[in-house]
Structure 1
């Protein structure tokens, strides 16, 4: 599997699991991220977390 394909697969499953406040989207719900990663059999290590955070950063820039 391509090194980023697994991160993209995880992202597609958690991109709707967002924390929202009165000001809008705050970011990914990391409790949900951990749970979904476990269900999908994906190890949520430091490298994977950094990839998800990079995708989250793009999302936050687009919506703000």
Structure 2
């Protein structure tokens, strides 16, 4: 357990360190609780909710940043 969070944390830290990336964003469907937990466990913080229209159906997304 926790492999996804470890991988996301390591990859995002590597990108920031090696390429000078200041912020990395994670965008997940608001109903995908497992992915939300992965981002939070990897050190991302919630920024805002966003709505995206897709084929006439609005989807709520959560935006995270690290």
TM-score range, shorter chain: 0.3 to 0.5
Higher helix share: 1
TM-score of the pair, normalised by structure 2: 0.33
- TM-score (norm. length: structure 1): 0.34
Higher Rg: 2
Greater fraction strand: 2
